[in-house]
Amino acid sequence: MSKRLFCVAFLLVSFVLLPKGYAEPRDGWSLEARVPAPTLALFTMEGVGRWGEHFEKTAIAGLFREPEMKAFMAPIEEAIAEQFGSERSPLGEAGPMIVEVLEQLAGLRGQIAIALLDVDMDAGMPRAAASLDFGEHVGDFVKFMIRMRKQLDPQGEAISQFEKDGRTWWQMQRGGPPITATTVDTAFVLATDPTLLESVIAGAGAESLASSQAFQSVRRRASAGGELGMLAYANVPAIVDMLKPMMDDEARVIANALGLDTIQAAAYGMAFAGDGFMDSLVLHAPGADHGLVTMVEMPAFQPQALHLVPANAFYYQEGSFNIHELVPNIRRLGAGVSPEFAEEMDQGLAHLRGMLGVDLEKDILGGLAGPTMVYLSMPETGGLYPELGIFLKVKDPAASEAAFERLNRGIAGAITEEGDVIASTRKLDYRGKTLHLFEMQEARGDDVVPFTPTWTMLDDWLVLTLVPHSMKEIVLRSATATTDGGLAAQEDFQSLRALMPKDAGAFEYLDLQGVLNLLYDTGVPLLQTVAKPNVMGRQIPFPLDWAQLPAARTVRPYFRSMAFFTTWNRDGIAIHMHGPIPLAGVMVAAVAVAIPFFSATRMSTRAMDLPDLVVDTGKEEAKKKPGPRPLRPMPPAGPARIIKAQAHAAQIGRYVRTFMLTENRLPSDLQELVSSGTVGRLPKDPWGQAYTLRVIDKRTRRFQVISAGPDGLFDTADDVRTRK
């Protein structure tokens, strides 16, 4: 078995089969407790036996439990299963061995982990250890490994097996570093050399990675209060020390200016939280005194303008950070990279001060107090023009209003001076508030430049909008707004806010539910209008029957919103994202779609799109003749006729789906595939009998292709059939 196929199998199990999982609540093996604290990196999948239990609580799992969604997905799932069950699929080509590997790996219960302890930079060889916790099934996996060694390497040329300390050990070497493996407690453990494996068995005790404060901190923050499912950890100081000999002086200066020397650890985590998933990116840098971590200081989030956000807002962001210190911090960071940076920046600010008549750093940014808020919504009173509101808290409202008036006049003068656009400012009194309008039009002709930026002062908030109409709505809303109304009263907003870490300094909300509702309510009727039934045609081997898609009212409860929580203080930076699917899930979904598509394309090239060849007996060159595509007999992956029959049945099933996509119905029998031109001819099964088509459910178009098997009788135990 090739290493590539083994990796494919392992990934498929990890990300596709394991989420179905088992509900055995055990916490056993922990690789981080057995490797030393200076370990460079660690990747773990935690508690895989409980993934299924957690996944069933998510909104996306609820959606796929809906009967209407099941009816749409059933043919797709069957097609995918047959793609991977086919003899010519990426897994099918490996034969029954890969299937047994998958069955064994499905017994995983606890942690899957790999640790990179060190790298020999001269030889380019890593020192690494990995472990798979099987719980009480570890004995079954040991028996499987013994059988596999006997089948793959009966002479022991590449895999040696021996007994030591009451355990079975394996040593494998075929190119690359040698791999030593054995079992410890409930885990199957591997390492790149025997000495390293011995140290893992002994454990690192108080000097382990698990006992490291930096590791504990990023692990805690990466879980974000949920049940941690995945963690990728990097020991930044150790990695930087390893790379220093390869860095030139300029690279070292930049690394120091960015504060890499202050970062003790970095991590990505995926946790189960609420009815979705929490993705987290963490930089742990306690006590940092320079670099990126010190650029921003965010106190714990306390909403101050949330009551002014309408209930139908589809985007909201509010946070508190030292915006008035932004320019000095940028100057300081840039000066650490290049001594000339600060001087060039000051020259640029002086040029703007002369052109606009206002000091941006002192009069504008220096007058801001810190908290900011932005929202986007559709008008509460109806209409299609989006309402944008930008709120900046100021220290002295009167001084800030005067400074912004000067800034507006300066910008208008600078734009007009260019000659292409004429800009002007004017004031408008509305309900006791002064609205400041910034108007523009083309210098030549009467064309108006889109938008009329408008700003005003609401107490100690400087508020900006794109048009006066939106500003008037905000002024009216401010007179009647309550702290428990508007967006704050929405159920999905409240549920997301409850998941926010206590030290988060900013909260960002995206009404994914509203966006998806809009797309779904528009896209599904469009598909059902123009795509009958499969808009992708024969390029996609999935029976995408758009008429089977659930109604909008059915799926709407499962379209959940997204939230981002940002923590940025002297302890480090943490960005959390809560959504209906994890980032890792998006990548896996892309792979899950790409593999069957690639496989189907390759199958199409091999079997479906090859025309018949007619060879002249006078030894002329073979000529291509258009006509029905032949279904060519396929060689078995192994000696068993059962495997050959399974491959034939799966391939015939794909042609049945091709017929369905073309004719919008199931064929009456398999011979109709030939008469319709879908396939040139049908093979007999390995025992000389014809395959047959059995319809399971006409409404959902479920069917089976069946061989009578060795005894030649249908509906007996030895029948070979595709999945329902």
Please report, for the domain that includes residue 662, its CATH number: 3.30.700.10
> pLDDT: is 185 or 661 the higher one?
185
pLDDT (0 to 100) of residue 146 = 84
Domain holding 150, by residue range, is 3-211
pLDDT on residue 602: 44
And the tokens for 445?
A: 């002709």
pLDDT of 699 = 76
Which among 163, 188, 211 is the end of a domain? 211
| pLDDT of 14 higher than 70 | no
Torsion of CA 565, 567, 572, 574, to 10 degrees: 0
335-349 confidence digits (pLDDT tens): 888 888 888 999 999
Bridging pattern class, strands 623-625 and 41-45 = unpaired
Last residue of a domain, one of 189, 211, 233: 211
Which long-range contacts does 75-81 make (Cβ < 8 Å, 24+ apart)? 75/542, 75/543, 75/545, 75/657, 75/700, 75/701, 75/702, 76/542, 76/543, 76/544, 78/702, 78/722, 78/723, 78/724, 79/541, 79/542, 79/543, 79/596, 79/654, 79/657, 80/542, 80/592, 80/596, 81/723
Task: Estimate to the nearest angstrom the gap between the alpha carbon of 227 and the chain centroid.
Answer: 18
Residue 554 lies in a domain: no
DSSP string, 274-329: TTEEEEEEEEE-TT--SSGGGS---PPP--SSGGGS-TTEEEEEEEE--GGGHHHH
Domain count within the chain: 2
Task: Give CA–CA dist 520/512, Å, rounded.
Answer: 12
Q: Flag whether pLDDT at 566 surpasses 50.
A: yes
Report yes or no on 644 lying in a domain.
yes
From residue 338, give the alpha-carbon distance in Å to each of 296, 345, 608.
21, 11, 62
Q: Is residue 21 in a domain? A: yes
* Side chain identity, residue 26: R
Question: Is 472 a domain residue?
Answer: no
pLDDT at res. 558? 86
- Choice among 116-130, 464-478, 541-555 with the minimum mean pLDDT: 541-555
Nearest Cα residue to 158 out of 2, 26, 17, 23: 2
| 384 and 404 Cβ atoms separated by less than 8 Å | no
- What confidence tens digit (pLDDT) does each residue in 628-648 have? 444 444 443 334 578 788 888
Amino acid 520 reads Y
Q: pTM for the complete prediction?
A: 0.75
| pLDDT tens readout for residues 234-243 | 999 999 999 8
pLDDT of residue 530: 75
Residue 217 lies in a domain: no
- What local confidence, expressed as pLDDT, does residue 585 receive? 65
In tens, the pLDDT along 16-67 reads: 333 333 333 345 789 999 999 999 999 999 988 888 889 999 999 999 999 9
Q: How far is it, in rounded angstroms, from Cα 455 to Cα 389?
A: 10
Is residue 140 included in any domain, yes or no? yes
SS3 content of the chain, % helix, strand, coil (to 5): 45, 25, 35
Domain boundary among 180, 211, 242: 211
Give 253's Cβ-side CA count (13 Å radius).
Answer: 9
| Mean pLDDT computed over every residue of the chain | 82
Is 717 inside a domain boundary?
A: yes
Q: Among 89-93, 175-179, 334-338, 652-656, where is mean pLDDT lowest?
A: 89-93
Evaluate whether residue 508 is within a structural domain: no
Span 655-680, average pLDDT = 85
